[in-house]
Structure 1
Amino acid sequence: MAFNDTLFQLGMDLTRSSTAQKEDYSCVESDADTVDRTSIPATTQSNIVAGTTLFIDLHGAKRLDDAKSVERAIKRAVEGFGMKLKSVHLDRVAGGGVTGVAKLATGHLSLQACSRSGLMAVDARGCAGLKPEAALIALANAFEAREAVIQKVRKAQAIALPTLRIVPQNDRKMAKTRSQAKAA
């Protein structure tokens, strides 16, 4: 009984369909303009990049159940794409595999490896100098992957934000009192 009451409150019913159960497949045209960034002159493009995030999948990777071999492969990969490794922390996962984080001088790698399927997922974040192609090739070579795919590349642009000064409530009262005293 309580289940039916909950469905009723949500606008749904088990016996008849409602608008809450229907999916909307309508398309809305966007007002945003699509711009081909390669056609913009270099002088108008923003060259300040706050960072690059890569989501890489390695299929058919080898030696994913041994933390020591994964650590060696991570070190080779980081050297391969020209970044400085500060530290590595890896843990074994129940059922075979390794998960962990590699701290870089200007970013990090987080990884999840499943030895049974030979799949390794790597999220790479670099504040400066992380080149997607170099990272992909270095990781694929280090783990001897059969296939390596960049699932997504996201680049964050540095944005200049206006300075905002927040005055605590007590300071506002004191400033108001001072201005009233000066006026008198």
Structure 2
Amino acid sequence: MSETNALFQLGIDLNEVSSNTQAEVLEFPIAQSKEVKASPLTSSDERTDFFIERDGKRFAGTHLIIDLIGASRLDDLAHIEATLRRCVEVSKATLLHIHLHHFTPNGGVSGVAVLSESHISIHSWPEADYA
């Protein structure tokens, strides 16, 4: 498939002027609902969920975004894999699979550690010392 055809398949028309879609602010109404209290999990529950409870409400975990500024070894696949494995170990999570892709020529890495509980992802830009 040609690059032009591939971009067209993604909805990108190479003959059109770029739109300002990214500059637009779209607002969507949020449906009003009653506040629901979390029911406590009991030992009879067969599912093992990794929800956390705060102030009587249950959440599907915590979302962390970590920026690495001035970082090194961002193109070292072995180091990144070892670091992801250490993160899984420290968080006492269950690792299912790690997939890393090394880009050339700049050496960036994108990857994910797929966990039973969730996932950990990384995207690095070694030319900017940033991930």
Q: When the two structures are superposed, what TM-score results if normalisation uses the length of structure 1?
A: 0.38
* Residue of structure 2 equivalent to 1:97: 108
Given residue 105 of structure 1, which amino acid in structure 2 is its aligned partner?
Answer: S
* Residue of structure 1 equivalent to 2:92: 82
Rate the CA distance shift 1:98–1:81 in 2: closer, same or farther, 3 A. same
Given residue 52 of structure 1, which amino acid in structure 2 is its aligned partner?
Answer: T
Q: Are 1:62 and 2:80 matched, yes or no?
A: no
C-alpha distance in structure 2 between counterparts of 1:61 and 1:75, whole Å? 18
Q: How does 1:31-180 map to 2 (within 5 A)?
A: 45-94=55-104, 95-120=106-131
Given residue 51 of structure 1, which amino acid in structure 2 is its aligned partner?
Answer: G
* Residue of structure 1 equivalent to 2:51: none
List runs of 5+ in structure 2 lacking aligned partners.
1-53
C-alpha distance in structure 1 between counterparts of 2:60 and 2:85, whole Å? 24
- The structure 1 segments of at least 4 consecutive aligned residues displaced by more than 4 Å after TM superposition are none
Given residue 109 of structure 2, which amino acid in structure 1 is its aligned partner?
Answer: V
C-alpha distance in structure 1 between counterparts of 2:90 and 2:130, whole Å? 21
Root-mean-square deviation over aligned CA pairs: 1.9
Determine what percentage of the aligned residue pairs are the same residue.
38
List runs of 5+ in structure 1 lacking aligned partners.
1-43, 121-184
Higher helix share: 1
Given residue 117 of structure 1, which amino acid in structure 2 is its aligned partner?
Answer: A
Q: When the two structures are superposed, what TM-score results if normalisation uses the length of structure 2?
A: 0.52
> For 1:102-126, what per-residue CA distance to the aligned partner results, in whole angstroms no more than 9, with x for missing partners?
1012000121011122211xxxxxx
C-alpha distance in structure 1 between counterparts of 2:60 and 2:110, whole Å? 27
Given residue 103 of structure 1, which amino acid in structure 2 is its aligned partner?
Answer: V
Count of residue pairs the alignment pairs up: 77
Given residue 69 of structure 1, which amino acid in structure 2 is its aligned partner?
Answer: H
Higher strand share: 1
> For 1:73-123, what per-residue CA distance to the aligned partner results, in whole angstroms no more than 9, with x for missing partners?
111122122222221000012311100111012000121011122211xxx
